[in-house]
Structure 1
Amino acid sequence: MQFDVLKDIREYVFDPCGNRVSQVQPELESAEYGACTFELDGLKIRFRISKKTPTKTGQFVTLWKRSKEGPIVPFHRNDKTDYFIISAKDENRFGQFIFPKQVLYEKGILSGEKPGKLGFRIYPPWDLAGNKQAKKTQDWQLHYFVESPMNKSVDIKRVKYLLHL
C-alpha cells in the first residue's frame, strides 16, 4: 500500500512539478501508516498515510520515532526532517498535507519546549469538521493541503509554494 500511494504521488504530483524523489527508506515500525523517508530535490521528507477512523470525523496519523532508550517519542524539532507529507484519501478524492517542520512544532505536534504528540487528526477539505476545535484545526491545516485530482493536473504552483521550491 505504502509504495502504491507513494508511486501515485510521484506520478501525479512530484513528476509534473519536476521534483525528483530519491533515497526512499521504509520505516517498518510504522508500516501500518505507510511510513517512509525520502528526499525530494534534496529536502528530507517523512511520509505517512492517514487512516479513517470509524467514530470521528477526519483521519488519524501517527508521528513518532523510537528513542535510544526504547519507548516511542514524538519527533523533535531538531530532527533532520524538512517536511512531513501526509497523504489523505477517501473514495473519490486524494491529496497531501505538506507540513513544514516548523509549523508542526508551533502547533505542539513536534517536541521541543513542549512534549509533542505521538499522533494527531487531519481534516482534508472533504471532511466536515464536527466541532469548534476540529474546525479550528482544519482551518490551519488546509493552508498546507494540495489536492491531487483524479485524471486532472495537480496545482504545480501550489506544490512548489508549499515546498518553498
Structure 2
Amino acid sequence: MRIEIPTQIFQMDKNLNQIKTEIYDKCSLEISDFKIEAESKEYNACRFQLNELNILSRNAKITQKKVGQFVTFWKRNENGPIEPFDENDQIDFYTVNVRTENEFGQFVFPKSLLIKKGIISTEKKEGKRAFRVYPNWDIPKSKQAERTQKWQLNYFYQINSSTDLQKVTELYNGK
C-alpha cells in the first residue's frame, strides 16, 4: 500500500508542520495553496489557504535585549522598497508561531484587528513593518508591553497536550 503525502508538507518548517498535525488536522482545518515567501525566509514566511481563509504566517524570533518575540510584517512594493501590508491585501489572518525550548504557541490575528491596532496600513495611517508579540509565558517589563500582551493573549493559544481546540476554532472563525 502506497501513502501519498502532499509535497507542501515537505516545504513547511517544523513549527507549521507540528501545528498542522496537532491542531489543524484535529480542527478540520485544511491547508492548501501553500507558498513559501521569498522575502523574510529567516522568519519562515509563507502564505496558504486554510479552509478558504487567506493566511500569512511567520515564526517570531527571540531577541537578546527585550522580552517578547520579534516578527516582521512587510511586503516589497513594485519599486523595490519594503512597506507595511495594507487593508487591500488579500489576508484574512496573520499567524505568528512562537517557540522557546519548552513552550510553543500561535497567535491568530484577524486582519480587522491589525487594522484597528495600526499594524496594517489604511488610507489614513501607515502600518508597521514589524512588531513584538508576548506569549503567556513572557513577563513584560514595561507598561506598554503589558498592555500589548493583554490584547494579544485574546488571540493566542498554547500548543501542548491540553490545547483548547474549541478556542482555536473560534479564533479562525473570528474575522
Show the counterpart of 2:88: 78
Percent identical residues: 45
Show the counterpart of 1:38: 48
Across the two proteins, how many residue pairs are aligned to each other?
A: 163
- After TM superposition, the structure 1 stretch with the greater mean CA deviation from structure 2, 152-161 or 70-79, is 152-161
Deviation at 1:154, TM superposition (A): 2.4
Higher relative contact order (CA 8 A, sep 6+): 1
Q: 3-state DSSP class of the match of 2:54?
A: strand
Aligned counterpart for 1:55 among listed residues 48, 65, 75:
65
Say which one has the larger Rg.
2
The ranges of structure 1 where at least 4 consecutive aligned residues each deviate by more than 6 angstroms after the TM superposition are: none
CA distance in 2, matches of 1:119, 1:2: 22
Deviation at 1:153, TM superposition (A): 4.2
Show the counterpart of 2:131: 120
CA distance in 2, matches of 1:43, 1:153: 25
Show the counterpart of 1:3: 13
Deviation at 1:2, TM superposition (A): 5.3
Normalising by structure 2, what TM-score? 0.90
Normalising by structure 1, what TM-score? 0.96
Q: 3-state DSSP class of the match of 2:154?
A: helix
Show the counterpart of 2:154: 143
Gaps of 5+ in 2: 1-10
CA distance in 1, matches of 2:27, 2:101: 25
